[in-house]
Amino acid sequence: MGRLMPDEISDLKFFCILTASGSIAGCARAMGMSSAAMSRRLSAMETRLGTRLVTRTSRHFALTAEGQRLHEHAVRIMQEVEEAEAELTARAGIPHGLLRVGVPSEIGRKLLAGVVAAFVGQYPDVTVHLTLSDAGLDVIDDGLDIAIRPGMPSDQEVMTTSLINSRRVVCASPDYVARKGLPATPHDLLKHDCICLIRRQRIFNEWAYLDGKVRKEIHVTPRLATSSSEVVHDWAVNGRGIALKVLWDIADDLKCGRLIECLSTYAWEDVTLYAVYPSRAHLPSRTRFFLDFVRRELRQNYFGT
């Protein structure tokens, strides 16, 4: 019968009810409408199809041959519609389909790659495309379902949810400390080789910390700067200077001694990892399940709440 429009499916449903009721009046009672409205609807169907579907008098109601054939098709089509609706309703609570996730490279490698793999293992009907980039992914422009990023986005049209919170750490390698010494105060950083991150030509050289309860900033002069957070990490491990890193990026390095925490008596500004997504309305189950799964895994395995 070709592709059916919603109003045509509605007409088929009406015709099935009409046939089962056995009369215009019975159909009107079943649908909560007037008999006149039901009669007009039947006439409109017959006009559209160009054939009489029902032979009806004050005492007789019967399907014509064309009406019988339409009824057979209508019953089959409505069964398929009901099965499709039931399947969609049943699957609404089970995550499935494609999920596009974007995340900065270092965070993706160290925090998200394993979590994403575990999520797909638990929900095999979901496919995840994980994009790692330090270019600053945009959930709308880059066609993502979810972008995961440190700090709140400037775009007010998107939705956000926090995943984990962690402190920042001033760190350096044992080799660097042996050569240059440890800074005793944040002001001492001005005499050290600092490594900074660049984002869109902005150098992040304003390192914020708390002195007691007072927020202060030290404007370091970078000896090295890069757009890659992974290169910042590598330079610090290789003794090229002092870096300000988020704890989740360097926890393993601190544990095994590749890096040493500096200025630990000062509280350096925290960072929150956010998930960004286009809209809360009609959020697919795969997105909701993924956000809950990632938040739970990160909070269990990493830092803060």
pLDDT digits (tens, 9 = 90+) for 127-164: 999 999 877 777 777 788 899 988 887 766 778 889 98
What ranges in the chain are assigned the alpha helix state H?
Answer: 6-21, 24-31, 35-49, 65-91, 105-107, 113-122, 174-180, 229-237, 247-256, 285-301
102's tokens: 């974007």
Which residues, 6 or more positions from 60, have their beta carbon under 8 angstroms from its beta carbon?
none
Q: Which helix H or strand E contains 223, and what residues bound it?
A: strand 222-226
Q: What is the 3-state secondary structure (H, E, C) of 149-178?
A: EECCCCCCCCEEEEEEEECEEEEECHHHHH
* 89, pLDDT greater than 60: no
* 56, pLDDT greater than 80: no
Which residues, 6 or more positions from 291, have their beta carbon under 8 angstroms from its beta carbon?
146, 161, 275, 277
Find the mean pLDDT for residues 16-30: 86
- Pairing mode, if any, of strands 222-226 and 159-166? unpaired
The Cα 242–Cα 114 span in angstroms is 29
CB 56 within 8 Å of CB 36: no
Question: Does the predicted model carry a pTM greater than 0.85?
Answer: no
CB 186 within 8 Å of CB 263: yes
pLDDT in tens, 256-292: 999 999 999 999 988 899 999 887 666 788 888 999 9
